Structure 1
Amino acid sequence: MGKFEPAQKALIASESVPTSLLSRNVALLFAIACGMAVANIYYAQPLLDAISNEFGITHSSVGIVITITQICYALGLLLLVPLGDLLNRRWLIAGQMLISVLALIVVGTAPVSMVLFIGIAVVGLLAVVTQTLVAFAATLAAPAERGRAVGVVTSGIVIGILLARTFAGVLTDLAGWRSVYLVSAGLTLIMACVLFRVLPHDDHKRESLSYLQLLRSLLTLFAQERILLIRGALALMIFAAFSILWTSLVLPLSTPPISLSHTAIGAFGLAGVAGALAAARAGRLADRGLGQKTTGLALILLLISWLPISYTHHSLLALIVGIVLLDLAVQAVHVTNQSMILTLRPEARSRLTAGYMIFYSIGSATGSIASTSIYVYSGWNGVCLLGAIVSALALLFWALTHRAGT
């Protein structure tokens, strides 16, 4: 049987190359667009003090800005991302980004807090264009290159999340917090025009369903595709671990004995970017049928990463090593998850992406809430222990489902 393998590989290559419409440059453009879009929902985190002072919102209540953004992002995953299976994605992506431009301008020019809240809600809702881009990239890529393409595009999302704080901090220091959203509006407008010009025509087979039927079919996917539930559960746990670190990291770094500035704290995101870039190759391993092994190795690294992270008070170098390992592991599993899920049903890629990312949202929110609560009672050691427990549970869950043959 082995002598037929070269012929089989040649056949796969000959079939996939002509159907590939996603060049490396277009994949990088997708990644940049994803990073820009997802950053819009993270800019507010380092700006809460400035927003609180300008609108007279108490520090105990200003967190509602983050809450509104995250809730609306989750609603967008459920209500907007599935539209990619129903509508022309080229027009859908450009349209969502143009409306995002208007919402960003509203936020950047808001005269009162209510207008700010409305604008930030729309920003959060439409930031899910990132997931439409991921599903579109998977459709455009040749089957043999799908994992690589997903890896490149999703790396842009993680990098956007990590660099949002640094970008917002620098612009706020230079021109005030409003400039962050106004500059983002300008960049988003340029990107929308470029994407509409560059994106190929979307000729994928569309579902002949009503919008309500489309949403109901999303629920049936959870019942019909076991791998979606398994990989979704892994996403919940790894992004809970991701949020446990990044939500609470500012607490030990900004207080004695470390007492770093917010600019210096934001710079630690650069270490995370290094890990995210390294993990982009995970998609290529998934293309070669090594998704399960990649997942297991990455989850082991995720668990190990909490050891150097726990030495934050003794060594910032150890923290940097831990951050690189953690972000490498999280991104590797995330890329592998999406590479495996997006091969299930070509006609339902947007719904599969939406269903998977709902788990991501739940994990991120849970990790954020749990980490700050634990820090109050147990300090940084408690946070690291929580992260290690969640990581160990993810590794155990993978081992059990892996043995089950999934």
Structure 2
Amino acid sequence: MSMHVNREQTEKVPLMTTGTAVLFAAAAGLAIGNLYWAQPLLAMIADDFGVPVSSGGFLVTATQIGYALGIFFFVPLGDAVSRRTLVGITMGVTSMALLLCAWAPGFSMLAMALGLLGLVTVAGQILLPMAGDLAAADDRGRIVGIVTSGITGGMVFARFISGFVADGIGWPGLYIGAAVINAIVTVIMMRVLPHEKRRASLSYPRLLWDVFGAVKRNPKSLQLLTYTGLGFGISFNIFWTVLTYVLAEAPYHYSPLQIGLVSLTSLVGAIAGIGIGRLQDKGYGHTALGVSFALSAAILALAAYVHNSIIAILIVAAVFALAIQGICVLVQSELFALSDTERSRLNTALVVSNFIFAAGGSLLSTWLWNHGGWPMAVGGASLASFVGLVLWWLWHKK
């Protein structure tokens, strides 16, 4: 059903049904998934271009840098221009960037193409605050939970699917297929997204600078950024990075495909995220956030003693995914409730903050692993979640 309505209508009648939210989730998941197609294929790509496997890390770095820049330079525009137009442009250019990746004649050109891909595949972070705008106030947590779950699912499925597809048609074929799918989804979203009038009357440079202004005008946002930074940025990145090391060594010696299967436990969190959003709508969001931090800290502490059992690892990963999804959904819902007119700028601050914390988490994971192996690494991840719990308690008492 088409939703070609103007902004006045969207202010009176919420347009986010469950079906529309699922479509938003699928488009957002596809956009974020574009960042992860290459990760399981680094060895294959390096071999094709005749470069050392260790050089594959440059491809990941190029993609991440491009994405961070895209978030900062494009997502704030969602508070000023038509998000329908912005989504259409970014998704359309994303299809072209995917084709450039497929046709890259050399390793350096592929790195540049992946950097461009990261720069433009930001539609998910435009759609998420848009979903918050279009949802009814008493249903916003559920809607945000659905779209956030789509983003999480996109991250997981892209890593998992790419290995299967690339084995059959090669990694260039994978990128061509992704380009076609992105183009189809772009057409669908253009038929579904509502027309909107210009909102913020700020110049582009002022709009970018006002990302910091939006945080300053909403002091609670700093607390929320800290929560996801500790939970998702540090705990999540440490756990999944060192788990890859554990599964690749004795007694498991898992292949990348088998490790990808283990990562599917993250879908537990993605599915649960839909229900978690309802807690925010019913006024239990703050309490649920504390429970999520406590659960994360506890299950990670337990993980230090169970890494020799794959069944135990799967249970730990599933429970941890539930805890982290709780933190992300509840923080995102509360962040969008702070302002009706600055959601894209606040979301930009959140994603950039998560990226900074994630970079720190990646560095910590290597240091902790080298100095104390799995027990020390998951202990550090548990400590980060425990710090989040302490801060939640202290800020709640004020």
Normalising by structure 1, we get a TM-score of 0.92
Are the counterparts in 2 of residues 279 and 329 from structure 1 also a CA contact under 8 Å?
A: no
For residue 312 of structure 1, report the CA deviation from its aligned partner.
4.7
Cα distance in 2 for partners of 1:129, 1:247 equals 26
Residue 228 (structure 2) aligned to one of 225, 235, 241:
235
Residues 313, 337 of structure 1: CA spacing in aligned structure 2 closer, same or farther, 3 A cutoff?
closer
Structure 2 residue 69 is matched with structure 1 residue 42: no
RMSD of equivalent CA atoms: 1.7
Residue 68 (structure 1) aligned to one of 48, 62, 69:
62
Cα distance in 2 for partners of 1:356, 1:45 equals 24
Cα distance in 1 for partners of 2:179, 2:103 equals 11
Cα distance in 1 for partners of 2:185, 2:278 equals 27
For residue 360 of structure 1, report the CA deviation from its aligned partner.
1.2
Cα distance in 2 for partners of 1:206, 1:57 equals 49
Residues 17, 359 of structure 1: CA spacing in aligned structure 2 closer, same or farther, 3 A cutoff?
closer
For residue 367 of structure 1, report the CA deviation from its aligned partner.
1.4
Residues 373, 44 of structure 1: CA spacing in aligned structure 2 closer, same or farther, 3 A cutoff?
farther
Q: What letter corresponds to residue 37 of structure 2 in structure 1?
A: Y
Structure 2 residue 168 is matched with structure 1 residue 174: yes
Is the partner of 1:347 in helix, strand or coil? coil
Could you tell me which residue of structure 2 aligns to residue 119 of structure 1? 113
Cα distance in 1 for partners of 2:286, 2:245 equals 35
Residue 390 (structure 2) aligned to one of 386, 396, 400:
396
For residue 296 of structure 1, report the CA deviation from its aligned partner.
0.4
Cα distance in 1 for partners of 2:35, 2:45 equals 15
Residue 206 (structure 2) aligned to one of 213, 216, 241:
213
Q: After the TM superposition, which residues 101-140 of structure 1 pair with which residues of structure 2 at under 5 Å, given as runs?
A: 101-140=95-134
Aligned residues: 389
Cα distance in 1 for partners of 2:313, 2:193 equals 40
Q: After the TM superposition, which residues 347-358 of structure 1 pair with which residues of structure 2 at under 5 Å, given as runs?
A: 347-358=341-352
Q: What letter corresponds to residue 222 of structure 1 in structure 2?
A: V
Q: What are the superposed Cα offsets for residues 233-281 of structure 1, whole Å, 9 maximum, x if unpaired? A: 1111111111111222221111111112221110112211012211322
For residue 56 of structure 1, report the CA deviation from its aligned partner.
2.6
Is the partner of 2:258 in helix, strand or coil? helix
Are the counterparts in 2 of residues 307 and 322 from structure 1 also a CA contact under 8 Å?
A: no
Q: After the TM superposition, which residues 7-406 of structure 1 pair with which residues of structure 2 at under 5 Å, given as runs?
A: 19-203=13-197, 206-239=199-232, 240-404=234-398
Cα distance in 1 for partners of 2:212, 2:227 equals 19
Is the partner of 2:265 in helix, strand or coil? helix
For residue 221 of structure 1, report the CA deviation from its aligned partner.
1.8
Are the counterparts in 1 of residues 251 and 308 from structure 2 also a CA contact under 8 Å?
A: no
For residue 308 of structure 1, report the CA deviation from its aligned partner.
4.5
- Deviates further, 377-386 or 308-317: 308-317
Structure 1: any 5+ residue segments left out of the alignment?
1-15
Are the counterparts in 1 of residues 365 and 377 from structure 2 also a CA contact under 8 Å?
A: yes
Are the counterparts in 2 of residues 238 and 363 from structure 1 also a CA contact under 8 Å?
A: no
Q: What letter corresponds to residue 221 of structure 1 in structure 2?
A: A
Q: What letter corresponds to residue 250 of structure 1 in structure 2?
A: T
Cα distance in 2 for partners of 1:323, 1:342 equals 28
Are the counterparts in 2 of residues 308 and 319 from structure 1 also a CA contact under 8 Å?
A: no
For residue 60 of structure 1, report the CA deviation from its aligned partner.
3.1
- Deviates further, 177-186 or 333-342: 177-186
Are the counterparts in 2 of residues 308 and 318 from structure 1 also a CA contact under 8 Å?
A: no
Could you tell me which residue of structure 1 aligns to residue 5 of structure 2? none
Is the partner of 2:81 in helix, strand or coil? coil
Cα distance in 1 for partners of 2:79, 2:147 equals 19
Cα distance in 1 for partners of 2:276, 2:395 equals 20
For residue 28 of structure 1, report the CA deviation from its aligned partner.
0.3
Cα distance in 2 for partners of 1:356, 1:44 equals 25
For residue 17 of structure 1, report the CA deviation from its aligned partner.
11
Normalising by structure 2, we get a TM-score of 0.94
Q: What are the superposed Cα offsets for residues 277-297 of structure 1, whole Å, 9 maximum, x if unpaired? A: 113222111112211101001
Residues 177, 309 of structure 1: CA spacing in aligned structure 2 closer, same or farther, 3 A cutoff?
farther
Structure 1's consecutive aligned runs of 4 or more residues displaced over 4 angstroms after TM superposition are: none
Between the aligned residues of both structures, percent identity stands at: 35
For residue 313 of structure 1, report the CA deviation from its aligned partner.
3.4
Is the partner of 1:249 in helix, strand or coil? helix
Structure 2: any 5+ residue segments left out of the alignment?
1-9
Residues 173, 373 of structure 1: CA spacing in aligned structure 2 closer, same or farther, 3 A cutoff?
farther
Q: What are the superposed Cα offsets for residues 205-226 of structure 1, whole Å, 9 maximum, x if unpaired? A: 6111100111121111222211
For residue 114 of structure 1, report the CA deviation from its aligned partner.
2.5
For residue 311 of structure 1, report the CA deviation from its aligned partner.
4.1
Could you tell me which residue of structure 2 aligns to residue 5 of structure 1? none
Cα distance in 2 for partners of 1:346, 1:201 equals 18
Q: What are the superposed Cα offsets for residues 154-201 of structure 1, whole Å, 9 maximum, x if unpaired? A: 001111112221111111211212222221111111110111011122
Cα distance in 2 for partners of 1:141, 1:59 equals 46
Are the counterparts in 1 of residues 148 and 273 from structure 2 also a CA contact under 8 Å?
A: no
